[in-house]
Amino acid sequence: MITKQLLEQIEGEASVYFDLKEDKVDFATVVFPHFRGMESILEAKNALDALVITPRVCGICGHAHLMATVRALEDAYKIAGYDVKLTQKAKNIREFTLLMEMAQNHFKWLYMVINPELEKLAAIKGEKKVLKGAYAASLASKAIAVFGGQWPHSSYMVPGGVTCDPTYVDVLQAQSHLDELVKFFEKESLGTSLEAFLAFDSCKEFQSLSSDVATVEANLISTAMQEKGFAHDRFLVMGQHDFSHVAKLKGTRAFKIDSRHLSLSDAYAPEAKSYAKNALYKDDFYEAGPLARMMSFSLPIIKNMHRRYKDSAYTRVMARIFELAFILQHAQTLLKDISVTQESVIDLSDIKSISAEGAGIVEAPRGSLVHKVSIKKGMIQEYRIITPTQFNIGSSTREKPTPVQKAMRGVSKEDALFIFRTFDVCSVCTTH
């Protein structure tokens, strides 16, 4: 029996077709039915126009798309023979705003998607906590706006740096928003300090908390999510940042990677038209995102979770919560190290002098994001975007399932829908 389920997420829609056998998911195909065509829109535009257009790919991770564009353009400058330099101030501001965007996404995912869906699955009528996610996300967005001028869809990153020139007061304002966000996270989400939580080395320690995170962890165990949702146990981290290690992982074993081995394939979706493509590395499917990033650091708590529960739905959820604490702590360090006396931008030659190809790779909230651009005399000849959802939530055949397809196999439809959401789909990023 084949049934169809339309999923409405924070960003866009996806349709999942389930092939059920004895009330268990035998196979699932994923369809992204809406076409957006941002890549075509970018063709024949001035390359700097991409700084305005690509942040509008998504209303959740526009900063990640902006940074990927900037990195792609800077890479094109380098390939064309120009020296591209960034001050530490510009680097820190870029990274800080990216981390705040990741934080607001993680908070929304936790409080607006995972917690309510998990309570529904566990048949629990808990306190409605959606507004907690909205409040936390608003604090992160305010911190972004101090430097970016607005959120979403800002365009303040440019080749060579950033357009903002913050004062000490601006930095203190951003610090105030971050401090308030951390205090909220500690009191409402964790039930302990950021430092104490990050010092955990066993997932058993989650049970000592009295907080929203403790409730989520208990509900994951009560619904046996530590025994469900296993993907390929292969992970990919491609964005170079201080908060990530670039690596391909098979279980806990890490290997070097080369972005030239990325490839795309058409989605397998015989039931309907899908506008998404699958992203592969060396012709294999890998999981990208918070779990992959935390696995790349070999952190004690993540190693403990993986040793006990592998890449289960439990591990995927709890690793993302741990990453939220991890990036908030790193954001504090970035703000402290911003020197307002440094230059914000180091000017480069006119983009019209550039004829080259460039690639920009960034870690977005859901995983590795890749932008590739081909420029001729400053004009875009071709633009390609590969998003985290294309790695995680592709649609392939029974013989070679994507991470989400493998993770949903062998469980009830209700469990499968929750497992699907642990990957945090973003369809508007995906269909170009």
In three state form, how does the secondary structure of 217-282 look? HHHHHHCCHHHCCCCCCEEEECCCECCECCEEEECCEEECCCHHHEEEEECCCCCCCCCCEEEEEC
SS3 content of the chain, % helix, strand, coil (to 5): 45, 20, 35
Q: Does residue 368 fall inside a structural domain?
A: yes
What is the pTM for the complete model shown? 0.95
Share of the chain above pLDDT 70, in %: 97
Range 172-200 average pLDDT: 97
Question: Residue 125 has what pLDDT?
Answer: 82
What mean pLDDT is reported for the chain? Answer: 94
Q: Does residue 379 fall inside a structural domain?
A: yes
Q: Does residue 10 fall inside a structural domain?
A: no
Residue spans of beta strands (DSSP E) within 330-414: 356-364, 367-376, 379-386
At which residue do the structure tokens 């690509």 appear? 54
What pLDDT band is residue 431 in, cutting at 50, 70 and 90? low
H or E segment and range at residue 116 = helix 115-121
At which residue do the structure tokens 């029974």 appear? 398
Q: Does residue 174 fall inside a structural domain?
A: yes
Question: Residue 11 has what pLDDT?
Answer: 56
Q: Does residue 1 fall inside a structural domain?
A: no
Residue 240 has pLDDT above 60, yes or no: yes
Q: Would you state the structure tokens that stand for residue 404, as one six-digit string?
A: 């989400």
Question: pLDDT for 317-356, tens place per residue?
Answer: 999 999 999 999 999 999 999 999 999 999 999 999 999 9
Which domain does 248 fall in, by range? 35-422
Q: Does residue 380 fall inside a structural domain?
A: yes
Residue 8 has pLDDT above 60, yes or no: no
When divided into structural domains, the chain yields a total of 1
CATH number at residue 43: 1.10.645.10
